[in-house]
Structure 1
Amino acid sequence: MSTTHRKHAAKHISCAVITVSDTRTKETDKSGKKIIDQLTNHEHQVNLYEIIPDEGDQIRRTVEKSIYGENIEAVIVNGGTGISHRDVTIESIEPLFDKQLPGFGELFRHLSFQYDIGTASILSRAICGVCNHCIIFSIPGSTGAVTLAMEKIILPEVGHMVREIHKDLE
């Protein structure tokens, strides 16, 4: 990102963190906690944190609640991005997108291949898009994937992305 873009990037983003899991609780959700810790360490605000089961309707409703009913600029969904029958996060939120950012998933899989899980990165269906002037990230639920996505992509770019989404609305 150029110096000009960095200078104008949003500094304090209002976020929602949604963990999709049939087994995690707020006590055992290491990935959700990691996302929250990294956001707050970078002076972003977490206005919503929920753990929901791998149920398509509930995933969609929770994301919609975040982007339409809360003061949220960025949503980070973790879990449910694999290829098993119960992994329905992508199918649940992708139809909500006004715009999709395919580069996010492409870059995530490249970095995941390079730094984390090698060729198993082809199983990831991580995506990103914009809906209702809000950026939505959907990443795998493993702690390694969350760390990689947050440190290498989301934290460096989320302020720039929010600024770009809102610049024509001002």
Structure 2
Amino acid sequence: MTHVEHKREAPSSVKCMVLTVSDTRNTDTDKSGKIIIEKLTEESGHSVNEYKIVKDDQKGITEAVTQGIADPDIDVVLLNGGTGIAERDVTIEAVQTLITKELPGFGELFRMLSYNEDIGSAALLSRATAGISEKTAIFSMPGSSGAVKLAMDRLILPEVSHVVREINKGPK
């Protein structure tokens, strides 16, 4: 089966959880979370069944993502924030404890696109990552609105349905 056929068999809509990791944002000031939700729902026809803002706290992030993984109404958890190298940036440490299959291409491609199209050599400071836990895809992006737009438009939206199809397909 070709890549095009796989994509054709993918669900037209996936069920998402959006998690913003921030000590300072709230629902009124969470520009990046709003961009993710808009791109998923209004631009792509997916559903956002859960939206939360969690503090830059590894335990709290792990708990929120674990809830998404356990929820049968969530196919994909999309996080933004906490992916840098500052001491308080612990999103990646939280997410990596839950991922059973890594998708290294997401981080690699995100950093390449960030370098070429957005922030130049500062892209090397990003630890954006993605992977699978049980039957749930997890994408962890930086918190800036430029990074979120880039990740959503160029990587996540073109492939998220295909990723969910691959996770859920049965044995041959």
TM class by smaller structure: over 0.9
1:139 CA displacement = 0.4
* Distance in 2 separating the partners of 1:29 and 1:49: 11
1:168 CA displacement = 1.6
1:38 CA displacement = 0.2
- Where does residue 136 of structure 2 map in the other structure? 134
1:101 CA displacement = 0.6
Q: Which amino acid aligns with 1:9?
A: A
- Where does residue 48 of structure 1 map in the other structure? 50
Q: Which amino acid aligns with 2:158?
A: P
Q: Which amino acid aligns with 1:52?
A: V
Q: Which amino acid aligns with 2:87?
A: H
- Where does residue 19 of structure 2 map in the other structure? 18
* Distance in 2 separating the partners of 1:53 and 1:44: 26
* Distance in 2 separating the partners of 1:169 and 1:33: 37
Instruction: Report the CA distance shift for 1:169/1:40 in structure 2 as closer, same or farther (over 3 A).
Output: farther
* Distance in 1 separating the partners of 2:72 and 2:36: 19
Between the two proteins, what is the percent identity of the paired residues? 52
Deviates most, 34-43 or 69-78: 69-78
1:49 CA displacement = 0.2
The alignment yields a C-alpha RMSD, in angstroms, of: 1.3
Secondary structure in structure 1 of the residue aligned to 2:13: coil
Q: Which amino acid aligns with 1:101?
A: L
* Distance in 2 separating the partners of 1:48 and 1:169: 30
Instruction: Report the CA distance shift for 1:33/1:169 in structure 2 as closer, same or farther (over 3 A).
Output: farther
Provide Cα deviations, 1:71-118, integer angstroms capped at 9, x if missing partner.
100010000000000000000110111100101100000000011100
- Where does residue 161 of structure 1 map in the other structure? 163
* TM-score, normalised with respect to structure 1: 0.97
Provide Cα deviations, 1:38-82, integer angstroms capped at 9, x if missing partner.
000211000000001100000000000111035100010000000
Q: Number of paired residues? A: 170
Moved over 4 A (4+): none
Instruction: Report the CA distance shift for 1:169/1:65 in structure 2 as closer, same or farther (over 3 A).
Output: farther
Secondary structure in structure 1 of the residue aligned to 2:97: helix
1:128 CA displacement = 0.2
| Superposed counterparts of 1:77-156, under 5 Å | 77-156=79-158
Runs of 5+ unmatched residues, structure 2: none
Secondary structure in structure 1 of the residue aligned to 2:27: coil
Instruction: Report the CA distance shift for 1:167/1:92 in structure 2 as closer, same or farther (over 3 A).
Output: same
Deviates most, 64-73 or 100-109: 64-73
Secondary structure in structure 2 of the residue aligned to 1:75: strand
* Distance in 2 separating the partners of 1:169 and 1:3: 20
